[in-house]
Structure 1
Amino acid sequence: MLQPRQQQWKNILQMTDTLHQLSADENWQAMLELETERFGELEDFFSTPVLEEDVGEVEKGIRQMLKSDELLKQHSTRQQQTISDEVKKISTGRKVVDAYNKHNV
């Protein structure tokens, strides 16, 4: 790869690794911002055709990103379910308190 493109690709892959760490830290806002930035970098990178000799390296990186993105999606889905379960518990608790107050007033 040409040096600037090689660095650009390396930065995109590093963003992918950072997204994984942000997910582990449950830093959702930073994750969202970095994902938006990574998307822009990917659009910019692929606005120029990939050289034939670079196809293997780029393909490997894409596979890494897809695998990482799938793990991020799974983690986010688990977190979303956990939050949903907590909200349901809060809602049930409120209903119990309301019922108690209704019958004891």
Structure 2
Amino acid sequence: MDSIARQHQWQAILQMTEQLQQLSVDESWQAMNELGARRQAGLEDFFAVPVSLKEAEEVAAGIQQILQSDQRLINRGRAHQAEMSDAVKKISGTRQAIRAYTHIHTTPT
């Protein structure tokens, strides 16, 4: 693969990284999983060939960008998970209150 093709390949990986951020904002979790798998395959393919000295600086900067982006994704995912957990707890509490109310009002006196 020539250097221009590798540069395009690397840019595509970085573009997928940016798209993952947008998908997380949109809470498109399934699309994120699919794109994440494609990006991982792209990374594996890219790094199957040693990085040349000529591309090392650009690749190192891109790796930092990917790591920072992935950390933001992790943080956003954890926040969403906490929100969902709180919502489930609230629903569970409401369900228990309804059962208690129903039990009190259906028990013969």
Task: Give the TM-score of the pair, scaled to structure 2.
Answer: 0.94
Superposition map of 1:22-101 within 5 A: 22-101=23-102
Counterpart code for 1:87: V
Counterpart code for 2:21: H
Q: Which runs of 5+ in 1 are unaligned?
A: none
After TM superposition, which residue ranges in structure 1, 4 or more long, deviate above 2 angstroms? none
- CA shift at 1:3, angstroms? 0.7
Q: Which runs of 5+ in 2 are unaligned?
A: none
1:45-86 Cα offsets, whole Å, 9 max, x none, are 000000011111000000000000000100010000000000
Which residue of the partner structure matches residue 8 of structure 1? 9
CA RMSD of superposed structures (Å): 0.8
Counterpart code for 1:51: S
Matches of 1:80 and 1:38 in 2, distance apart?
Answer: 23
- The structure whose RCO (Cα within 8 Å, separation 6+) is larger is 1
- CA shift at 1:95, angstroms? 0.2
Larger Rg: 2
Matches of 2:105 and 2:72 in 1, distance apart?
Answer: 50
Counterpart code for 1:66: L
**Identity of aligned pairs, percent?**
47
- CA shift at 1:103, angstroms? 1.0
